[in-house]
Amino acid sequence: MTRVVAYGLSIQSEILLPEAPATRAAPQVIVRLGKVEKPFGEADAERTYAIDREQFRVYWRGVGTFLIRLGCEVVIEPETDVEEAVLRLYLLGPALGILLHQRGFLVLHSSVVSIGSTVVGFLGEKGWGKSTTAAALNARGHPLVADDVLAVLPYTHCAPMVQPGLPHFKLWPEAVAASFGEDPSTLIRLHSKVEKRIREANSDVGQEPMSLGRLYILDRGLTLESIPMTSSAALLAIIRHSYLSHHMQALCGAQENFLQCSRLVQTVPVHRLRRPPNLNALDEIAQLVESDVSVAAVFPVSAAV
């Protein structure tokens, strides 16, 4: 039995979780092994779901079946001979994202760093460069807040607050070399079937919530530019990049998700970050973001309308 902290939650787990810092706090989330009914679906489906307001059952082929319940419990029935590293990857990634949603967080597909006093998130689909962009900034001394999962605390009348996540990146070898200038072969692989590496981050941000200051929607273009988005365009983009966006109706959460995203774009500037689709531009991208943030700190502006 291990007890760790992730996204401000104390997690007691039957699966060892070396990626997360240890804690002695009383557990808020229990992770255990047990029998879980597999959701109905095609026999060869990569994943199948069964969803309601209180629980989310999901089967990942080659991994196992997970039951995430009421934001406080995860029960896992692993597939035979699955690597424990694979279980950890799914538990601390998508399963934890579902649990955070159940606890009322706005959960976005985003990697997040702290630049000065400003928390900056990069949003995009899988493979769009969220982690790589954040890693390039981390290599320049800006602490990692979270990789791949941005958890915005349930709404208060204050500025949107972000809960820091796990202190490491999951990067392809070429991204490790481009961002940190390191030999990726010296780093541990996520698991035996993928080449992605775990790279510890400069992440001295603790576990206290941090104020979110800016979001970037990653895009491709021939030139590098940061373009302010209107509130309406930003809202559509934030909804699109919400965790579980395709399941909100089944979760009875579409209206609340819309309200959470609306509040976010009313207070946080959102820019479209167009950049060439190659790793050679990482330094220029990082410098542009740093410049953007420093100018905003001197001449603060509200979200575009």
Write a three-state SS string for the chain. Answer: CEEEEECCEEEEECCCCCCCCECCCCCCEEEEECCCCCCCCCCCCCEEEEECCCEEEEEECCCEEEEEECCCEEEEEECCCCCHHHHHHHHHHHHHHHHHHHCCCEEEEEEEEEECCEEEEEECCCCCCHHHHHHHHHHCCCCEEECCEEEECCCCCCCCEECCCCCEEEECHHHHHHHHCCCHHHCCECCCCCCCEEEECCCCCCCCCEEEEEEEEEEECCCCEEEECCHHHHHHHHHHCECCHHHCCCCCCHHHHHHHHHHHHHHCCEEEEEECCCHHHHHHHHHHHHHHHHHHHHCCCCCCC
- pLDDT, residue 197, reads 92
Residue 191 has pLDDT above 70, yes or no: yes
Summarize the confidence of residues 12-20 as an average pLDDT: 93
Exposure letters 191-218 (e unless 16+ CB within 10 A, then b): beeeebbbbebbbebebebbebbbbbbb
- Give the C-alpha separation, 43 to 66, whole Å: 17
Residue 206: predicted pLDDT: 79
Question: What are the domain boundaries of the chain?
Answer: 2-102, 106-167+204-298
Encoded amino acid at 189, one letter: R
Top pLDDT among 91 and 303 is at 91
Neighbour-count burial of 302, counting CB atoms closer than 10 A to its CB (0-12 exposed, 13-18 middle, 19+ buried): exposed
- pLDDT band at residue 305 using 50, 70 and 90 as cut-offs: very low
- Whole-number percent of the chain with pLDDT over 90: 69
Average pLDDT score over the chain: 89
- pLDDT at residue 37 above 60? yes
Look at residues 201, 225, 220, 215 and name the one whose alpha carbon lies nearest to residue 135: 201
CA dist 276 and 181 (Å) reads 20
The pLDDT value recorded for residue 304 is 47
Q: What is the mean pLDDT of residues 156-163?
A: 83
Residue 128's pLDDT band, with cuts at 50, 70 and 90, is confident
The tokens for 171 are: 């990067």
Give CA–CA dist 187/141, Å, rounded: 20
First to last CA, the chain: 50
The two beta strands, 144-146 and 210-220, are unpaired
Model confidence over 248-295: pLDDT tens digits?
A: 666 667 888 888 999 999 999 999 999 987 888 899 999 999 999 987
Cβ 260 vs Cβ 243: under 8 Å: no
Q: Which CATH number fits domain 106-167+204-298: 3.40.50.1010, 3.40.50.620, 3.90.228.20, 2.40.400.10?
A: 3.90.228.20
Q: Averaging pLDDT over each range in 40-54, 123-137, 193-207, which range is the top one?
A: 123-137
What confidence tens digit (pLDDT) does each residue in 56-106 have? Answer: 999 999 999 999 999 999 999 999 989 999 999 999 999 999 999 999 999
Give the mean model confidence (pLDDT) for residues 101-122.
Answer: 93
- Arithmetic mean of pLDDT, 179-208: 88
Q: Which pLDDT belongs to residue 199?
A: 92
What gap in Å lies between CA 58 and CA 77, rounded to an integer?
11
